Amino acid sequence: QVQLVESGGGLVQVGSSLKLSCTVSGFTLEDYAVGWFRQVPGKEREGLGCIKSPDSHRYIKDSWKDRFTITSDDAKKTIYLQMNNLKPEDTADYFCATSWWSGPCLPLDHQYDYWGQGTQVTVDS
């Protein structure tokens, strides 16, 4: 059974850093893409970036390239979203998702089949 569990969210101050984790089980990371998404209640979910094993191809949308990084530890079956210089507008629920993927990954939420329950990030100004 495919499962994804996010962790690492919380309340932080403006300018802080936070590292979210997505621990997966029930499948091997090879040939699967793992994407990171976020959603503010009442707004559409937005894709932040993704990573795909085994070549560790990764993609971050331009809007966040200067502040967000995606890495993976395949041995721990965990994918990370490092967020730096957090701003109040980064306040949202953050989700990871996965799906079998051919070629370079993209954070297109409708193409991901399995989702975690999310972790909340609040950036206090």
Confidence of residue 30 (pLDDT cuts 50, 70, 90): confident
pLDDT given for residue 44 in this prediction:
95
Average pLDDT over residues 53-72: 90
SS (H, E, C) the chain: CCEEEEECCEEEECCCCEEEEEEEECCCCECEEEEEEEECCCCCCEEEEEEEECCCEEEECHHHCCCEEEEEECCCCEEEEEECCCCHHHCEEEEEEEEECCCCCCCCHHHCCEECCCEEEEEEC
| In the chain, % of residues over pLDDT 70 | 99
